[in-house]
Structure 1
Amino acid sequence: MDQSLVEKDGLLTDLIEYHKLILDLSNRLIIAFRRIIFVDLLVASILLCVLCFQLVMFSGSSVIIYFAYVFYIIAILTQVSFFSYFGSIMSYESELVCEAIYCSNWYEVSPKIRKMLLLCMMRAQLPVNINAGFMQASLPTLRAVSFNS
C-alpha cells in the first residue's frame, strides 16, 4: 500500500472521529439548553407584543417613556439575536460538511474510508439545528418573532 494513502487514511479517520465528537457535543449542548432557549424565545415574543402595544397606547406621552420602550425593545431583540445568529451559523456550517467531503479527494482513499465518508455525508445532509420546542433558534425565527410582534 502506498505510504501517502496510509497517511490520508489515518488523517481522514481522525477527522471522521473528530466530526463524530463534534456532533455528539452539539447534541448534548442542544439538549442542555433547549428549555432555556425555548423560554427565552417565548418570553421575548410576549414582551415584544406587550411593549409594542404599550408603545402604541402611550404614543402621546413623554418622549422619555417612548425612548425607554424603544431601547427595551432593542435590548430584547439583541438578546434573541445572539441565540438566532449562532443557531444559524451552526446550521450553515453543518451543511457545509457534506460539500467539503464531496469536494475532497475521496476517490484516493481506501474503500473502508470511502464508506466512512459516505456515512458522514449522509449524516451531514441533515443540518444541526437548535430546536427549542416548536421554535428553532435561527435568523428566520428572529425575523418571524420581530415581525409578528
Structure 2
Amino acid sequence: MLETPSFVAYNHQYNLVLKQLKKLCVGTQAAFVIQCNITLFCLAVYPIWESNKPLPLEFEHFNSGMFHYPFYMFEVIGAYICAYTNICLDLLSVGFIMISATQLRKLNIKLIDMKENVKSLPDYSEENSEKLTLDYLKECCIHYSDIEEFSKCIQDCFSIISFIQMVTGCVSVCNALMLLTSLSPTSPEAIFLFCYTISMLAELGLYCWFGNFVYHESLEIVTSCYFSSWYECSPRVRRSLFILMERNKRPIEVKGLSLITLSLDTFISILKWTYSYYALLRNYKAKHHLYNSEM
C-alpha cells in the first residue's frame, strides 16, 4: 500500500518537508532508544553496587555459588532481549503511524498549493483550468481515502498491541513509584527505578504524540481547503472543496483496541490516572503500616 500512486506522487516536489518529518521521527525514536539503554545499563550494574542485591532479578537459589555469574549473565542478556523486542515493536508501530501523519501533511500542502500545482501542469491553459483543478481535487480525495485505508490497516494490526502497552505502562509506572517511595533517593536501585519510570512514560508519550500528530494533521485538512484560493475557483471546484471539508468533520484517529485514542489529551489523562492510583496505593500502605504498628 505504501507504493500506491497517491502516496508517491509529489514526493520530489515536497522532498524537503518529507525529510524534515523523517528527521523529527528518527530523532525522537533515537532519544527513546538511548533512554531505554540507560535503563537497561542501570538494571545490569546496580546489583554490583549493592551487596544485598546479588542478581538483577531475585532468584535465591543462584544468589551465590558456581552458577551465580552464569545466571547473572543469563538474566542480563534475557532482559536485553525482552527489552529490545519491546522497543522494536514500539518503533514499528509509531513508524507506521508517522507514515500516516506524513501523508496527511503532504495532502495539506497539496491543497494549499492547489492553484500553483495546477498551473504547473504541462497541459494547463485558461480554457481547461477548471477541468484540471477538478481532476487535481479528485486526486486529493483519492489520497485522503488511501490515508484513511492505511490508518485503518494500522489500527487492525497494532490496536491490541498499543492498548496492552498503554495499560501495562500505567501499571508499571505506578509500581515503580511505589517502590521509589520506600528507597533512598541516592541508592542504585532508586536510580534504576527512576530511569525505568522515565522510559515507561517515554513509551506512552511516544504512542500518544505520534497519534496526536495524525489527529492534528487530519483536522488541518479543513484549514488547508480554506487557504487553497477557493474564492478564485468556479462553483464546481468550490463544491468539491466543500465535500472534502464535510468529509473531514470526522477526523482520522489512531486508537488502541478502538477504546483509547492515541493523543496528547489521552497522555495527560493517563498521567492523572497514574498519579491518582499511586496516591491511593500510598495511602493504603500508610494506613496498613499504622495499623500494624498499633497491633
Q: With the length of structure 1 as denominator, give the TM-score of the two structures.
A: 0.87
**Which residue of the partner structure matches residue 104 of structure 1?**
228
1:132 to 251, 256, 272: 256
**Which residue of the partner structure matches residue 103 of structure 2?**
none
Letter in 1 for 2:172: L
**Which residue of the partner structure matches residue 16 of structure 1?**
141
Larger radius of gyration: 2
Letter in 1 for 2:262: A
Question: Deviating runs (4+, > 3 A) in structure 1?
Answer: 113-116
Letter in 1 for 2:132: E
C-alpha distance in 2, partners of 1:61/1:96?
45
C-alpha distance after superposition, 1:85-125 (max 9, x if no partner): 100000000000011112223351462x5444323211212
C-alpha distance in 2, partners of 1:24/1:115?
24
**Which residue of the partner structure matches residue 95 of structure 1?**
219
Contact 1:87 1:137 in 2 (8 A): yes
2:178 is the alignment partner of 1:53: yes
Q: Give 5+ residue unaligned stretches, structure 2.
A: 1-125, 275-295
Shift of 1:31: 2.2
C-alpha distance in 2, partners of 1:119/1:61?
59
Rate the CA distance shift 1:143–1:62 in 2: closer, same or farther, 3 A: same
C-alpha distance in 2, partners of 1:5/1:60?
72
Q: Give 5+ residue unaligned stretches, structure 1.
A: none
**Which residue of the partner structure matches residue 188 of structure 2?**
64
C-alpha distance in 1, partners of 2:218/2:185?
49
**Which residue of the partner structure matches residue 200 of structure 2?**
76
Letter in 2 for 1:53: M
C-alpha distance after superposition, 1:52-110 (max 9, x if no partner): 11111x22376101101000001111111111110000000000001111222335146
Select between 8-17 and 81-90 the one with higher mean Cα deviation. 8-17
Letter in 2 for 1:66: A
C-alpha distance in 1, partners of 2:194/2:185?
14
Contact 1:91 1:128 in 2 (8 A): yes
Select between 128-137 and 46-55 the one with higher mean Cα deviation. 128-137
Select between 126-135 and 44-53 the one with higher mean Cα deviation. 126-135
Q: Secondary structure at the match of 2:172?
A: helix
Rate the CA distance shift 1:60–1:97 in 2: closer, same or farther, 3 A: same
Contact 1:80 1:142 in 2 (8 A): yes
